[in-house]
Amino acid sequence: MTTIHVQYYAILREQAGKSAETIQTQTKTAAALYDELAKRYPFSLGRSQLRVAVDDEFCDWDAHLVDGCHVVFIPPVAGG
């Protein structure tokens, strides 16, 4: 099990009902983590409509997750 700090932005925050949480997971990649979380929360956006950042850097969905890392899921927003 690895410990991951997760942060949600915009519509994901609303759908998760929280802006951040620390979770225990067996998933190894950002994609697998999102898919796991999508079973828990009613996320309306697929991975292709989002970006993920690990430790404050945008990365690909196959990015490897390490214990204690910080993962941000973020959609683009349009309001102005």
Binding mask 5-44 for other proteins (x = CB under 8 A): --x-xxx-xx----x-------------------------
> At its nearest, how many Å lie between other proteins and the CB of residue 61?
12
Q: Containing H/E element for 32?
A: helix 30-40
Stretch that binds other proteins, among 21-29, 31-39, 61-69, 70-78 (CB under 8 A): 70-78
User: Are the CB atoms for 51 and 77 separated by under 8 Å?
Assistant: no
Dihedrals phi, psi of 4, to nearest 5 degrees: -125, 135
Residue 70 identity (one-letter amino acid): H
Q: Identify the residue among 26, 39, 42, 80 touching other proteins (CB under 8 A).
A: 80
- Distance set, CA 66 to CA 42, 56, 58, 78 (Å): 26, 14, 15, 32
What does the binding site for other proteins look like in residue numbers (CB under 8 A)? 7, 9-11, 13-14, 19, 45, 48-51, 53, 56-58, 72, 74-80
